[in-house]
Amino acid sequence: MENFEEIAASFGVPEPLRPALAPDAPSRGKVPIARAVLPAPPKVQIAMAYLLLGDPDPEIAETARRTLCEMPPRVVVDAISGESHPKVLEFFAYHQRDAKVLEKVALQHQANDRTLCYLAETAPERVVDIVASNQERLLIAPQIYLHLRANPATPRATLYRVATFQRMCGIDLAELEARYATPSPPPAPPAEERPAVEPAAPAAASAGIVPDLDPDDPLSALLEEFGMGRAEPSAPAPEPSPSAAPSAPRPAIAVDSAALSNLSLLAQTEFDFGYGDDDEAWDQDLIADHGERPDDDVIQSIATKIAQLTTGQKIKLAYVGNKEVRELLVRDRNKMVASAVVKSGRMTEPEVVRVVQNRSIHDEVLRMVASNREWLRRYPVKVALVGNPKCPLPVAVGIISSLQVRDLKLLANNRNVSSVVFSAAGKMLKERKQT
């Protein structure tokens, strides 16, 4: 096993409490921790209980499992944050059925791919919509589409939207089908658990047949490619009666079975306990600290490795990469990649200043920096923002009043910024001189 001290630290357990969780620590001291009765914040109680799932004492492990499974949803929702360990999020995705808990899990950027795929396949429609709307994750783990398709709660319009977005981003859906096995829809629930048939639903749609579309309609061509095109029923479908059971779930997109890989329905799997925090092993050059200023050869090597990554991999790397990686990715031509660097929360003040001073940076990156209250409290960031012509006008004008006289003079004479900005700076400078 890895160094348990490092593992406990990665889960956010305070240093004084770590020795009590060690595998060789006395079981008697672990009982209150497994029951979550030790005085500690909920997020720490959850992290400690999770670590005890791997305890060599089966009774301690089972107590910890019951504690986590029976924890009130309100407590779990409040405890989940951007600092929650990915495996803790995965555990709650598998063992908590409360919709608010699942929504909170789906919104965390550090959730691993398996968690998002499991939610895509098993969660209710509100959570499915969160997963399907996460464009970053759809590029990082395009197989999410296949799991969405296996979920009866996923609206067909959502599937079409996801497929269209992935195709626009260069993801070959046929190749995706060949790489991963297509999950089949789960068996229909018993009649008493099935939802009532909606009277307005057309018979063709309830049978999994797409209504007639104009042959020139792009949707018709796309559905035809996916194997969900117009079907020719041998006889007219009978009118559904109010007591009739709904038809079987819509069929999965047909693919060549010889091309299928090893993706199976996650709904049929159990939670896989572990301590790892990522599904992908990154090259150490991309995540290790290289000190103040690495050699040019190291920078070139990093740039070469990044150039070989897909857009999804770049987005994923943006959240874990080192300073050199962040400096390269924040200037990426794809604004989703550049924005991911800002959202990672790992940028230091000097990095932010260099980014907002760059006039070729994406507008979206500047908007994200400008909307971050913590960064706007830093004076160097304010000066860099207001001096960038791309800075949103309301933000720039709002910053002017807090500038020092020296910076107001420079801004008032800066003709690269908007006339509104340098005029406001000149006006403010005159007011300061009069007082």
pLDDT in tens, 358-374: 999 988 999 999 988 89
Q: Is residue 289 domain-resident?
A: yes
Range of the domain at 317: 280-347
Predicted local distance difference test score (pLDDT) of residue 433: 83
Which of 21-30, 182-191, 264-273, 333-342 is predicted least confidently?
A: 182-191
Which of 209-223, 267-281, 381-395 is predicted least confidently?
A: 209-223
Decide if pLDDT at 213 tops 90. no
Q: Is residue 398 domain-resident?
A: yes
- pLDDT-derived band at 354, boundaries 50, 70, 90: very high
Q: With beta carbons less than 8 A apart as the criterion, state whether 319 and 340 touch.
A: yes
User: Are 328 and 381 in a shared domain?
Assistant: no
Predicted local distance difference test score (pLDDT) of residue 252: 35
Q: Is residue 307 domain-resident?
A: yes
Q: Is residue 402 domain-resident?
A: yes
Token readout for 207 is 């049978």
User: Are 341 and 284 in a shared domain?
Assistant: yes
Q: Is residue 30 domain-resident?
A: no
Please give the Cα distance from 433 to 381 (Å, whole number). Answer: 25
Please give the Cα distance from 91 to 98 (Å, whole number). Answer: 13
Predicted local distance difference test score (pLDDT) of residue 302: 92
Task: Give the domain-ending residue among 347, 362, 388.
Answer: 347
- Residue 420, C-beta contacts closer than 8 angstroms, at least 6 positions apart: 393, 396, 397
Q: Higher model confidence: residue 91 or residue 278?
A: 91
pLDDT in tens, 39-69: 899 999 999 999 999 999 999 999 999 999 9
Q: Is residue 425 domain-resident?
A: yes
Predicted local distance difference test score (pLDDT) of residue 190: 52
- Residue 158, C-beta contacts closer than 8 angstroms, at least 6 positions apart: 128, 129, 132, 148
Token readout for 289 is 């600290």
Q: Give the count of domains, the chain.
A: 2
User: Are 299 and 333 in a shared domain?
Assistant: yes
Predicted local distance difference test score (pLDDT) of residue 258: 30
pLDDT in tens, 285-343: 898 887 777 788 888 999 999 999 999 999 999 998 999 999 999 999 999 999 999 99
Predicted local distance difference test score (pLDDT) of residue 235: 44
With b meaning 16 or more CB within 10 Å and e meaning fewer, what string describes 365-386?
A: bbbbbbebeebbeeeebbbbbb
Tell me what the mean pLDDT of segment 104-109 comes to.
95
pLDDT in tens, 116-140: 999 999 999 999 999 999 999 999 9
With b meaning 16 or more CB within 10 Å and e meaning fewer, what string describes 246-268?
A: bbebbebbebeeeeeeebebbee
User: Are 428 and 387 in a shared domain?
Assistant: yes
Q: Is residue 203 domain-resident?
A: no
Phi-psi region of 12 (alpha: psi -120 to 50; beta: other; left: phi over 0): left
Say what angle helices 218-225 and 156-168 make with each other, to 10 degrees: 90
Predicted local distance difference test score (pLDDT) of residue 253: 34
Q: Is residue 337 domain-resident?
A: yes
pLDDT in tens, 168-198: 998 988 888 888 755 545 555 554 444 444 4
